[in-house]
Chains A and B, each alone.
Chain A
Amino acid sequence: MAAYNNKVKDMSKENVRARLMLFISRFVVYFILAFLTILCLFSFYLLIINASRSNSELQAGFTLIPSGHFWENLKNAWFIDQTYNALSIGRGLLNSLIISSGVALLSCYFSALTAYAIHVYDFKLKNAAFVFILAIMMIPTQVSSLGYIQLVGDLGLGNWFYFSMIIPSIAAPVVFFYMKQYMDSVLPLEIVESARVDGSGEFMTFNRIVLPIMKPAMAVQAIFQFVGSWNNYFTPALLATKVTDVNMKDGVNTLPIMIAYLRSMQNSKDFDLGLVYMFILLAILPVIVIYLVLSKAIVGGVTSGAVKG
């Protein structure tokens, strides 16, 4: 009897210890998560606060409380192109919007088409084409950018800045791979065959039947491609130097180019800091809004492509 009692005591002791351990490890985990959350959000919080403060307030000291100069800064940032032609933020937003939308649209449509070709049809070079696209998927575009901008320049397409930015996205191996993975899981060949029996042409089958099925994948990739293009800096900056038309030269700048330009001027000149913060805020605001609205689809889409478990 005594032995039994001792055993129960031991067990409950162990239980308490296990619970205590769990409590402590949970506490540590939440502490780490809270720290990383603050690390991620703090700079953006500071950005919003500082975009609402005047230059003299910003020079005077640090605070975490917003001030009342938001509209003033907005007006200053928006009309900075009256002093600096190249920094027209309205123009930058429009340019980035045009290019990013074009990239999102073309990359999704044509990648789905390419994936469809390899998913549905059986032709000699099918495997070769698939392996080739997979193999080149990770090679960065920067290493061929020299040839590309020379090609664009040599063709005299320098003023066709938008086209030279958008057209390459028709061949987007990463989007292709995502679409192919998605088709493997949702598109049985019977659907295509029954469409054929009903007399639908191949191209019509793709447009009318397959594209609607692909909608969720298209939406996720459209977001990623839009954001990627919105943030793209290397190639657009090089292509912008190719524009020789004086009237167009400052008109083609995208937002990252403007940001870099503003940064290079900050080296030699004291800018109104409220304006600078507002400029940064305006450049990233569209993406933040998209993210806040669609975060569930975006976070879900990160892993459903290349490395589905």
Chain B
Amino acid sequence: MSKDAKKIKIKRGKVVSYNKWGYIFLIPFLIVFLCCVIIPQVMTFYYSFCDYYKSGLKIVGPTWVGFKNYGDLFAPSAGGIIQFFKYLGNTLIMWIMGAVPQILIALLLAVFFTSYRLNIKGQRFFKTVIYMPNLIMASAFAMLFYNIFSNVGPVNQILNSMGIDTVDFLFITVSSRSLVALMNFLMWFGNSTLVLMSGIMGIDASLFEAASIDGASSLKVFFKVTLPLLKPILIYCVITAMIGGIQMYDVPQVLTAGNGSPNETSYTLMMWLQRFIGESKNYGMGGALSMVLFIVSVVLSLFVFRFLVKKKEG
């Protein structure tokens, strides 16, 4: 062994002795993640194959029953409706009603704010205002909307003074869903705007210059330059919004006092999960629903993951 090789070996040995600290500093994260996420997830997985519920004051189970809970989850109820698909449909409809304008308006505002030609004044003020609803407690926001749109609330008072009869907003499917969607829109379009703005500002400015020298109109620049280059971030925005959509809970829960009125048409999957775990205490069914939602969010997460990894490489 030559002298040099020996030296390197010693040096390497030293590096390794520092590097054990990498493991040591990871310990708190790993232990807590194991105890608070992985073990609970495994328990949830196990419960999903068990009869495990509260009957009166007695807890039944957990006893192994195989895929029974999953079967029950997708079984039609008394009216021939499969509850899972009904609530999934509600969640999807309200998500689309909120997320489509959310992304479109955010895209529009992001273009406005980054346009040299328009040179919008007071950007800081506008950004501060549109982001604010994102930080407001969703349950309090829903409570506020309930009181504003209630039968004795300001909106109905205005309608009455115009000679229109009182509208019971929470007892009409369209208006009840629209309120949930409106709140979700208000809470998230500011966030999307900021994300898309940073995306547009990350695009090479010389591309815009070249396009304008070639005499491209703003519309053409948007569709031929901005949009194609913004696509990854736009997809990121949509997917994160979808993951948020699965979690839709606070707003419809508080707005409708947990019953998804009218006739459970604004009842979401997360509200169902909460009912299994918190109220009816059917942990077996809750487990099965949790696992279905887990799988959906894992699939969606993979898209976000790919985006983040690509960005790291690129």
Question: A residues bordering B, Cβ < 8 Å?
Answer: 22, 25-26, 29-30, 32-33, 36-37, 39-41, 43-44, 46-47, 50, 58-59, 61-62, 110-111, 113-114, 116-118, 120-123, 125-126, 129, 131, 133-151, 167-168, 170-171, 176-177, 196, 202-203, 206, 227, 230-231, 233-234, 237-238, 241, 255-256, 259-260, 262-264, 266-267, 273, 276-277, 280, 283-284, 287-288, 291, 295-296, 298-299, 302-303, 306-309
Closest to A196 in B: B18
Q: Is B5 an interface residue (CB 8 A)?
A: no
A sample of 16 cross-chain residue pairs with beta-carbon separation below 8 angstroms, ordered by A number, consists of: A50-B147, A114-B28, A122-B19, A138-B300, A142-B293, A144-B40, A145-B277, A147-B44, A168-B36, A171-B33, A177-B308, A234-B274, A256-B250, A284-B140, A299-B128, A307-B198
Which of B23, B127, B137 gathers the greatest number of chain A CB atoms within 10 Å?
Answer: B137
- In the assembled complex, the Cα of A94 lies from the Cα of B148 at a distance in Å of 28
Contacts of A291 in B (CB 8 A): 132, 135
Per-position contact with A for B270-303: 1 when CB-CB < 8 Å, else 0? 1001101110000100110011011001101110
A153 to chain B, nearest CB (A): 11
Kindly identify which residue among A46, A280, A296, A306 contacts B154, using a CB–CB cutoff of 8 Å: A46
Query: How many interface residues does B have (CB within 8 Å)?
Result: 108
Contacts of A202 in B (CB 8 A): 18, 21
Closest to A276 in B: B147
Query: Are B243 and A140 within 8 A (Cβ)?
Result: yes
Question: B residues bordering A, Cβ < 8 Å?
Answer: 15, 18-26, 28-30, 32-33, 35-37, 39-44, 47, 105, 108-109, 112, 117-118, 120, 124, 126-133, 135-148, 152, 154, 157-158, 161, 186, 189-191, 194-195, 197-203, 233, 236, 240, 243, 246-247, 249-250, 253-254, 257-258, 270, 273-274, 276-278, 283, 286-287, 290-291, 293-294, 297-298, 300-302, 304-305, 308-309, 311
Q: A134-B309, A151-B40, A309-B199 are in contact. Are A299 and B249 (CB under 8 A)?
A: no
- In the assembled complex, the Cα of A280 lies from the Cα of B136 at a distance in Å of 11
- In the assembled complex, the Cα of A230 lies from the Cα of B137 at a distance in Å of 7
Q: How many A-B residue pairs have CB under 8 A?
A: 302
Contacts of A259 in B (CB 8 A): 137, 139-140, 143, 254
A212 to chain B, nearest CB (A): 17
Query: Are A307 and B233 within 8 A (Cβ)?
Result: yes
Kindly identify which residue among A118, A129, A263 contacts B143, using a CB–CB cutoff of 8 Å: A263
Query: Are A145 and B297 within 8 A (Cβ)?
Result: no
Query: Are B258 and A264 within 8 A (Cβ)?
Result: yes
Query: Are A280 and B294 within 8 A (Cβ)?
Result: no
